[in-house]
Amino acid sequence: MPPTRKAARRPLRDRASVGEPSDPRASSPATIATNRLNELAEALDITLSELAARIEALEHLLVESRLCTLDDLIRSREVVDRREKDR
């Protein structure tokens, strides 16, 4: 059986090393910080909307089980809003 030829490889200087970004600007500290801030903002948006949905579900259960009235919930929200403004 005749020996097979290996395919010609590109020189090392032409290949990007593993884990190294192809664009040197992609690893700048400002870009990394911006990307991280974007990830955190997205996670926060998801968390806040999930929290709001859970609060709404609890409010619904409170009214449904007649532990409080809708007016009670509205007044409690007003108290929280006033506290937020005083800060």
Structural domain boundaries in the chain:
28-86
Q: What pLDDT shows up at residue 27?
A: 76
Q: What pLDDT shows up at residue 3?
A: 65
pLDDT digits (tens, 9 = 90+) for 37-78: 999 999 999 899 999 999 999 999 999 999 999 999 999 999
Q: What backbone torsions phi and psi does residue 28 show, to the nearest 5 degrees?
A: -70, 150
Do residues 63 and 70 lie in contact, with contact meaning Cβ atoms separated by under 8 Å?
Answer: yes
Write b or e for each residue in 17-45: b if 16 or more Cβ atoms lie within 10 A of its Cβ, otherwise e: eeeeeeeeeeeeeeeeeeeeeeeeeeeee
pLDDT digits (tens, 9 = 90+) for 7-38: 666 665 555 555 555 555 557 888 999 999 99
pLDDT at 85 over 80: yes
